């Protein structure tokens, strides 16, 4: 409780120049924390530490000894939005390979052990899924419906991008982030704020967007978010509902 109150106090003192799209750094992390708290996200004090460790290179030093870098997109979403995600069931066991590095970090690194209690929810949401007979795009919504997954918030949404697995008839969440509705948050000069961790070893990032179409345009510009020839285009979801696909 003391840690949470301390973090809230610190975040509330982080007001400065208006936020701009870009990396989350030691200079703007307190402003970002203030918005995360106002939006009702959880573990903001831990997120602040992750950002500062990443910015200071502490994660790189740790990786030299353990092989791990810092958190990735899925770990970040589960840290901040995990308490808002409700469900009826989860997969008991995960036998896939696409979350191998995520699970290794969660199970073996103390700084990510906070995610252990959400491990089954984590693999249910982000791990490999059999492609739906109703089409690739329906795979993730059917998974959410099957497990009763729901994000209980009117401020935050989980954005997922579903990719076709390489040489497998399966799909997985290759990227995810949190979209915050900032229309009632005075400190943000934009309709929405997208919070993400691009990948292991990359900075935490914020992007100001005007709407969902703006976000899809942004994600479509990233050269890494492509698909193999003949595979379906990656599909973008907001709280388990399709909002578009990445433009080729």
Answer yes or no: is pLDDT of 57 > 80. Answer: no
pTM of the predicted model as reported, rounded to 2 decimal places: 0.89
Average pLDDT of span 112-132: 97
Average pLDDT of span 154-176: 95
Answer yes or no: is pLDDT of 11 > 50. Answer: no
State residue 54's pLDDT score: 83
DSSP for 160-217, please give it. Answer: EEEEEPTTSSEEEEEEEEEEEE-TT-TT-SSSEEEEEE-STTSPEEEEEESSHHHHHH
Q: What percent of the chain has pLDDT over 90?
A: 73
Cβ atoms of 106 and 141 closer than 8 Å:
no
Which residue has tokens 């301390």? 6
> What CA–CA distance (Å, rounded) separates 117 from 204?
23
Q: pLDDT tier at 56 (50, 70, 90 boundaries)?
A: confident
Helix (H) or strand (E) holding 68: none
Answer yes or no: is pLDDT of 150 > 50. Answer: yes
Token couple for 8: 């809230």
Average pLDDT of span 8-21: 60
Average pLDDT of span 216-244: 91
Q: pLDDT tier at 68 (50, 70, 90 boundaries)?
A: very low
Phi and psi torsions of 100, nearest 5°: -55, -50
Answer yes or no: is pLDDT of 5 > 70. Answer: no
Average pLDDT of span 33-58: 91
Cβ-based neighbours of 242, under 8 Å, separated by 6 or more: 137, 141, 235, 236
Answer yes or no: is pLDDT of 48 > 90. Answer: yes
Tens digits of per-residue pLDDT, 71-103? 999 999 999 999 999 999 999 999 999 999 999
State residue 10's pLDDT score: 41
State residue 3's pLDDT score: 39
Average pLDDT of span 186-208: 92
Residue ranges of the domains in the chain?
Answer: 68-245
Angle at 218 between CA 217 and CA 222, to 5 degrees: 110
Closest alpha carbon to 35 in 221, 214, 208, 173: 208
């Amino acid at each position: 409780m003391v840690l949470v109150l301390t973090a809230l106090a610190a975040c509330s003192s982080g007001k400065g120049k208006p936020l701009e799209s870009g990396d989350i750094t030691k200079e703007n992390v307190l402003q970002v924390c203030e918005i995360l708290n106002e939006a009702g996200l959880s573990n903001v004090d831990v997120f602040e530490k992750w950002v500062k460790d990443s910015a200071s290179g502490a994660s790189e030093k740790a990786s030299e000894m353990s092989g791990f870098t810092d958190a990735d997109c899925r770990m970040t979403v589960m840290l901040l939005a995990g308490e808002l995600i409700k469900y009826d069931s989860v997969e008991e066991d995960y036998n896939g390979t696409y979350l191998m590095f995520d699970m290794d970090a969660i199970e073996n690194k103390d700084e990510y052990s906070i995610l252990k209690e959400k491990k089954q929810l984590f693999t249910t949401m982000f791990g490999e899924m059999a492609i739906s007979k109703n089409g690739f795009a329906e795979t993730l919504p059917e998974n959410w419906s099957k497990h009763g997954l729901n994000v209980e918030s009117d401020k935050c949404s989980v954005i997922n991008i579903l990719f076709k697995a390489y040489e497998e008839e399966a799909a997985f969440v290759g990227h995810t982030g949190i979209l915050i509705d900032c229309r009632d948050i005075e400190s943000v000069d934009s309709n929405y704020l997208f919070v993400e961790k691009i990948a292991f070893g990359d900075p935490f990032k914020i992007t100001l967007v005007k709407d969902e179409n703006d976000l899809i345009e942004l994600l479509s510009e990233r050269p890494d978010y492509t698909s193999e020839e003949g595979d379906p285009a990656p599909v973008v979801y907001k709280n388990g509902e399709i909002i578009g696909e990445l433009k080729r």
